[in-house]
Structure 1
Amino acid sequence: MSVAAGTTRAVVVDDSRFMRTLITKLLEDGGIDVVADAEDGVAAVDVVAEHDPDVVTMDIEMPRKNGIEAVEEIMSTHPTPVLMLSAHAEENADVTFEALDRGAVDFVTKPGGEVTSEMPRVKRELVDKVRSAAAVDLTARERTAAPTQVTRTPSAAGPAGGAVAPGSLPDGGTVIIGASTGGPNVVEEVLTGLPREAGLRILVVQHMPEGFTGRFAKRLDGRCGYEVREAQDGERIGPGQARVAPGGSHLFVDDDRADRLRLRLRGGDRLHGVKPAIDHTMSSAADVVRGPLTTVLLTGMGRDGVDGMGAVKRAGGATIAQDERTSAIFGMPKRAIEAGHTDEVLPAHGVAEGILHTLRS
């Protein structure tokens, strides 16, 4: 559903009247038109069908029908982008990721009830997330099922190579994957397509709040062949290991020695409104990584990662962007392509093969 023609229209779902009022005020102050609200999942399904909003903000724990069940029914009866509002807690991370599996497009930390100096930042983050979620192409997920053959599309920046021969693997290399809205499931698909035997060192920068990236890393660790953890300051990682940038910190590559990357976490201001920022990780890697380096920019709104990919390309590394057809939001990849920073443009299901090809070449 497009939001370009006018104001974003939202439905707010929460079992707390106070929270519905607070979220509505934050959104309306940010220029979002809240057309209706609902107190539980049952009412949410009816309200969405009646008002046909651009986006829904959805609480998780509610009576009669919880947020996960409501998402599943909305996606099957009246497909609409749903943004989950998740409490900042470890136990809520699991159900939040389950909601993404059921069709929710993104999530944001639920605002606290108290009025503090942080409220302007909370409002800005909530409004940005709602606008981003409203712009998601819900049909992109349906197009990620791999066809019999992947079409390799060269960008304006350079030609695409041939397919990786069966059983042929690169001998190591470094991979940096950046993603935002719609990214978690695609990141998982890419990592599961990279065999551990390739001996890669992988860094993932997924725009995600603090407190959720650790759980995201555990989820990836259980679903791919690599040892995946949340990155720690000063640690070194080698072949067969992957690290996820922690929410609330920027991840830098500080050194590459004896086939091991040394990682640094830093605070500082947000870049492009986000922390971690993809640009910081990619640009620092371009300066210090020895040997083959490939960077990938997946679905997401904005321009984070564009300058970082440019730095990698100038340093002689390879760059891949996800294509428009399989991107939930063709924002970051599009801007990288338009800037001439990408070597290849590939569908989600072709990215892993593309990575192996670039490193082998």
Structure 2
Amino acid sequence: MIVDDSALMRTLIADQLADAVGIEVCGVAKDGYQALEMMKQLQPDIITLDVQMPGMDGLETLDRLLALKPIPVIMVSAMTQLGGDITLDALERGAFDYIAKPTGLAQAESVMRDDLVRKIRTVAGTDFAKVLEIRRTRAETRRQRRSAASVPAKSASSPARNKPVAPIECSYRGIAIGISTGGPPALTSLFESLPAGLPPIVIVQHMPEQFTKAFAKRLNSISQVEVKEAATGDTLTPGCAYIAPGGKHLEIRRQTRDQMRLEVFDGDPVSGHRPSVDVMMRSAAKAFGDACLGLVMTGMGRDGSDGCKAIRAAGGYVLGQNEASSDIYGMNRVAFQEGNVDKQFDLQDAAQTIVRETKRVRRAPVATR
């Protein structure tokens, strides 16, 4: 079922899904009120839901739809800062995934026919009730953790300095994280628990342009780690995390013996994505060598498996999120089955596991003449 206040967008989505084998549009709704009534009558398997609608907005509609039934909802979001913020809220509340609204008819075919169809097919084979339960449990855990904390988290622009610092020697070490579908809620849970003082963290989260800046700001507001959207020329600094911008590749490049910088650039998709986890992780393996800790987490597809292989070949160590705590056991499953993961972890224990395993990776002594 398609829910959108724009008649053009309803037609656009319906037309692109019409030719997809095994997918049938059972109804279209122009607002949240109509969507609730039609859901009761039509009992659709999946819903696409406009983020910004007059009257009952996308978030309220989502809450009321999920209260009726644990149904997979794919948010359709405008490519704006506001659209990105609302979409992240929707994922926290239980939306399965999202797509960005095409900016023109030329882009509509690739976004709707390719991205949307792929995500619909993915959710068709997913136990969404389990996914929703995982997210609600995480959200409740975070609420309890925040209420029990004696000091508030930092604001988006002002870091808090009151959590214990991880006792890790950061010289030469680096952490590379690859993640996709289910990533925003998972990374939110992880970054709320990470201590200050970790080696620099570089992240590829499959996201469209505009969304990554909003997501980096959100993570920064709840974490002891300083989080920003990566930019060319950024110098990797301990205690900081850098998220690849949507639509761009990201590499780590060594400048001097003690200094590494980031390079953001255009290029063809690699492993089906731009940014690509494989691109970033291969550069991390080259830059950090045996002092690199890699993490491959929830997401569909296989992006990241080759990058994990490169990290292990360079002497680094790779962690893979386990099936039980993953929204989508896809990227991490492929990496594990192909022998490119040293150990699996549960998201609930991720922060402690990262601190422990980061201490294990260390650059081999440099031979002196």
TM-score, normalised relative to structure 1:
0.85
- The offset of 1:169, in angstroms, is 3.4
Give yes or no for contact 2:70–2:132 (8 Å, CA) kept in 1: no
Q: How far apart are the structure 1 equivalents of 2:89 and 2:200? A: 28
Matches of 1:298 and 1:141 in 2, distance apart? 17
Change in Cα spacing, 1:128 to 1:236, as seen in structure 2 (3 Å) is same
The DSSP-based 3-state class of the residue aligned with 2:82 is helix
Indicate if the aligned counterparts of 2:216 and 2:228 stay in contact, CA closer than 8 A.
Answer: yes
- Correspondence for 1:84: 75
Q: CA deviation at 1:270?
A: 1.0
Matched position secondary structure for 1:43: helix
Match of 1:120 in 2: 109
Question: Is structure 2 residue 237 aligned with structure 1 residue 238?
Answer: yes
The alignment's C-alpha RMSD in Å is 2.2
CA contact (8 A) 1:133 1:181 kept: no
RCO (CA 8 Å, sep 6+): is it higher in 1 or 2? Answer: 1
- Residue 180, structure 1, aligned to residue 180, structure 2: yes
1:301, distance to aligned residue in structure 2 (A): 0.7
What residue is the counterpart of 2:86 in the other structure?
95
> Relative to 1, partners in 2 of residues 1:222 and 1:319: Cα closer, same or farther, differing over 3 Å?
same
Correspondences of 1:194-273 after superposition (within 5 Å): 194-197=194-197, 199-255=198-254, 257=256, 259-273=258-272
Equivalent residue of 2:121, what SS?
A: helix
Q: Kindly state the Cα deviation for residue 287 of structure 1 after the two structures are TM-superposed.
A: 1.0
C-alpha distance after superposition, 1:35-82 (max 9, x if no partner): 222111122223233333332110022234211111111222201111
Deviation at 1:184, TM superposition (A): 0.5
The verdict on how the C-alpha distance between 1:167 and 1:213 changes in structure 2, with shifts beyond 3 A counting, is closer
Match for 1:51 among 38, 42, 58? 42
The equivalent residue for 1:190 is 190
Residue aligning to 2:32: 41
User: Which residue matches 2:20?
Assistant: 30
2:168 to 164, 167, 170: 170
Give the whole-Å Cα distance in 1 for the aligned partners of 2:342 and 2:93.
33
User: Counterpart of 2:247 in 1: which secondary structure?
Assistant: coil
Q: Percent identity among equivalent residues?
A: 38
Q: Gaps spanning 5+ residues in structure 2: where?
A: 142-163, 361-369
Contact 2:52 2:83 in 1 (8 A): no
Question: Could you tell me whether the CA contact under 8 Å between 2:29 and 2:38 is conserved in 1?
Answer: yes
Q: Does the C-alpha gap of structure 1 residues 168 and 248 become closer, same or farther in structure 2, counting only changes over 3 Å?
A: closer
**Paired residues of 2:52 and 2:77 also in contact (CA < 8 A):** no
Q: Quick one: structure 1 residues 270 and 30, their matched pair in 2 at CA, closer, same or farther if it must change by over 3 Å?
A: farther
SS in 1 for 2:47: strand
Match of 1:140 in 2: 131
1:259–1:43 CA distance, 2 compared to 1 (3 A): farther
Cα deviation digits, residues 106-152 of structure 1 (max 9, x gap): 2111124x432x34322322322333344444323534658x9xxxx
Q: Distance in 2 between matches of 1:137 and 1:323?
A: 16
Aligned length: 331
Aligned: 1:350 with 2:349: yes
Q: Residues of 1 paired with 2:314 and 2:89: CA distance?
A: 39
Match of 1:156 in 2: none
SS class of match (1:196): coil
Quote the residue 1:3 is aligned against.
Answer: none
**1:68 alignment partner, one of 59, 76, 92:** 59
The one-letter amino acid of 2:207's match is M
Q: CA deviation at 1:192?
A: 2.2
* Contact 2:290 2:314 (C-alpha < 8 Å) held by counterparts: no
Q: Measured at CA, do residues 167 and 243 of structure 1 come closer, stay the same or move farther in structure 2, by a change above 3 Å?
A: closer
Task: Tell me how far apart the structure 2 counterparts of residues 222 and 96 of structure 1 sit (CA, whole Å).
Answer: 17
- Give the structure-2-normalised TM-score: 0.84
Supply the AA of the counterpart residue of 1:217. A
Once the two structures are overlaid, the 10-residue window that deviates more, 208-217 or 12-21, is 12-21
Return closer, same or farther for 1:80/1:341 CA change in 2, 3 Å cut-off.
Answer: same
Q: Give the drift of 1:269.
A: 0.8
Q: Which has the higher helix share?
A: 2
In structure 1, what is the equivalent of residue 156 of structure 2?
none
Offset at 1:347? 1.4
1:212 Cα deviation after fit: 0.8
Letter in 2 for 1:170: I
**Shift in alpha-carbon separation, 1:200–1:22, aligned structure 2, 3 A:** same
Letter in 2 for 1:345: Q
Secondary structure of 1:265's match? Answer: strand
Deviation at 1:315, TM superposition (A): 1.0
